[in-house]
Chains A and B, each alone.
Chain A
Amino acid sequence: MTDRTDRARIVVTGTGAVTAGGDGMAATWRTLCGGRGTARHDPALDGTPVPISCRPPHPEDAPVRQGWRLDRSTRYLLTAAQEALREAGIEAFGTRPPDWDPARVAVVVGSAAGGVAVLEDAHRRLLERGPGALSPLTLTGYLPNLSAAGHLALALRTTGPALHTSTACASGANAIAHAALLLATGACDLAVTGGTDAMATPLCAAAFARTGALSRRTDRPATASRPFDRDRDGFVLGEGAGVLVLERAADAAARGAPALAHLAGWATTSDAHHPTAPDPAGRGLRAAVALALRAADAAPGEVEHVNAHGTGTPRGDRAEAAAIRDLFARTPPSVTSAKGALGHTMGAAGAIEAALTVRTLRTGTAPPTANHDAPGPDTAGIDLVTGRPRDHGPRLALSHSLGFGGHNTVLALRRTDAP
C-alpha cells in the first residue's frame, strides 16, 4: 500500500456501463462504433410533447435479491458496478479478494434526479388512493443518496465514504473527480465511482420539454439526437449508468489489477451565468480544461481526443464548439459525442463517457458521432469524427461534462504507456 497522503498516480482498473446501446461496455462500444442512434418511440412518455427516449434493453435486471425494491437507476448502477468490479478483478456481490478492506473502499456516485420514477409513481398513488397506500419503499427508492451511492455501498457492504454528487448532467464526472480526490488524499484505497439516472419519466420529459431542451423530431426518433449538426434541435432523454473502479497505481500493480488508463487530472468550475444556458463563449468549460490540464501537467497541444459533452442543443453545442476551437486552435484534437447514439443519460453521462474515453485510449479508436450530417456555421471548425470510427491512437484525451446550473467538469485521461 502506498503512503496514504501520497498524491500518487491514479489509475482506472475497471469500467462498466448500462446504456441503450446494450448490456455492458462491449455492447455499448459496438453500438457507438456503428454510428447509429438508439432513440425510439417510448410508450411510457405518451401524453408528453416528446414521447421518445433511449432506454437500456433490460431495465428490470439487478444483480441483487429483491431488486424490485430499487428504482431502475439503482438497478442500472448495480449492474454497471458488477461489470466494472469484475474487470478490476473483484467479484462484486459474492467473494472478494482476501485483502479487501471494506472500510478503505469509497463509493461515490452522481445522479441528477435520484429515484425520480419511484417518486412519481408514489405521488400518483398518494393522489389516487391516499397516504395509506404509499409503499414504505418510497423514500428508500427515491432519496438520491440511497438510489446512487447508498444502495451500492449496502450491496457491497463497504463502510468507507459513501457519497452522492448532484451537479445535473455533470454529476457522474463530478463523482469520479471527487473519488480521485479521496484516493489522492488517502481517504480510501479503492473507489467505486460513476453516475446513474433514469429520467425518462413523464414528469421529467414534460419538464425538460418546457425548458425547450428536447428534440422535437418525434417522427424520426433514431435521428433526433444530432450533436453539433446543422439541424440539431435539442437532446433526447436517455437512461443508464457508468462505473469506474479507481485505485492508486502502486496499489493496483501490487494486486495485479489491470491499469486501463491513468486519470491524470480533473477540474470543476461554474459558469455563474444562467440556470440552464451555458456561458455562450464556453468560458467556464475553458477554465475547467485549463485547470485539468494543469493538474495533469499537460499542455493543450498534447490533447489528441475530446469526448465532448455534445448534447445536440443549439446553445450548448455552440458554446462547447467555441471553447474547443479556441483552446486547441493550433493542434485540433479529434472530437466525438456519444449522445448521438445513446441519448443524454443525464447524471450518468459523464461516467459513461469517461468509461468510453478509457476504451478509446485502450483501443486507439475514436467512435463516430451519430446523426451528424453537416456542421452548422456555429459548430464548424472542430475535427468531429463522423460516419465511421477513426483509428489514430490518442495518448491524452479529455472528457467534458456540463450541467444545468453552469457546472463544468473535465477529466483528463492518459494512456498508461504514455509518458
Chain B
Amino acid sequence: MDQVTERIAAVLTGKFDVPADLITARASFQDLDLDSLSVVELYVTLQEEWGVPLDAEAATGDVTVGELADEVRTLLDGRRPGDD
C-alpha cells in the first residue's frame, strides 16, 4: 500500500470506524458502509489535509479507495512547488 492509500485507510479506520480488514483498493465506499454524507466528509477531510482541490460534489458511493487514491496522486503530482 503506498503512502496516499495508507493515509486514506487511516482516515477511514480512525474517523469513519471502518474495519481495517475491509479496506482494499477495489472496495467502494458503499462496500465500506459509508453513506453519501460520509463520502463527502471524507473528501473534505482529505482536501484539507493535502491542500488539493478534490471534487467533493462528484463523490459517490461507487468510487473505490483505489480510484480516490489515484485522484489524490494526480492532483499532488500536478501541484507546482510553492503552491502551498
Contacts and interface: CB of A to CB of B under 8 A. Distances in A.
A93 to B, nearest CB: 15
Given A136-B37, A140-B37, A66 B44 contact: no
10 contacts: A65-B17, A69-B38, A132-B53, A132-B56, A133-B44, A136-B36, A136-B37, A136-B40, A137-B37, A137-B41
Interface string B15-28: 11100000000000
Contact of B44 (A65, A69, A136): A136
A66 B17 contact: yes
A132 B47 contact: yes
Interface residues on A, range: 10 to 19
Contacts of B17: 65-66
A137 B45 CA distance: 12
A132 B38 CA distance: 16
A100 interface: no
B16 A66 contact: yes
Contacts of B38: 66, 69
A366 B34 CA distance: 48
Contacts of A134: 44
Closest 9 A/B residue pairs (Cβ): A136-B40, A136-B37, A65-B17, A136-B41, A135-B41, A137-B41, A137-B37, A66-B17, A135-B44
B48 interface: yes
A68 B53 CA distance: 25
A231 B37 CA distance: 50
B63 to A, nearest CB: 15
- In the complex, which of the residues A66, A135, A137 has the most CB atoms of chain B within 10 Å of its own CB atom? A66
Nearest to B33: A65
Chain B at the A interface: SS class: helix
Contacts of A66: 16-17, 38
Contacts of B36: 136
Contacts of A69: 37-38, 41
B30 to A, nearest CB: 16
Interface string B26-63: 00000000001110110010011000010010000000
Interface string A63-97: 00110110000000000000000000000000000
Given A65-B17, A132-B47, 10 more contacts: A66-B38, A69-B41, A132-B53, A133-B47, A135-B41, A135-B44, A136-B40, A136-B44, A137-B37, A140-B37
A390 to B, nearest CB: 47
Contacts of B48: 133
A296 to B, nearest CB: 45
A102 B41 CA distance: 30
B75 to A, nearest CB: 14
A66 B39 CA distance: 13
A136 B15 CA distance: 15
- In the complex, which of the residues A69, A133, A134 has the most CB atoms of chain B within 10 Å of its own CB atom? A69
A134 B48 CA distance: 10
A87 to B, nearest CB: 28
- In the complex, which of the residues A65, A68, A132, A136 has the most CB atoms of chain B within 10 Å of its own CB atom? A136
A68 B44 contact: no
B15 A68 contact: yes
A237 B53 CA distance: 41
A133 B36 CA distance: 17
A136 B57 CA distance: 10
A332 B35 CA distance: 56
Interface string A40-70: 0000000000000000000000000110110
Interface string A243-265: 00000000000000000000000
Interface in A135-159: 135-137, 140
Contacts of A68: 15
A119 to B, nearest CB: 16
B60 to A, nearest CB: 13
Contacts of B56: 132, 136
A135 B36 CA distance: 12
Contacts of B40: 136
Contacts of A136: 36-37, 40-41, 44, 56
Contacts of B15: 68
Contacts of B53: 132
A66 B41 CA distance: 12
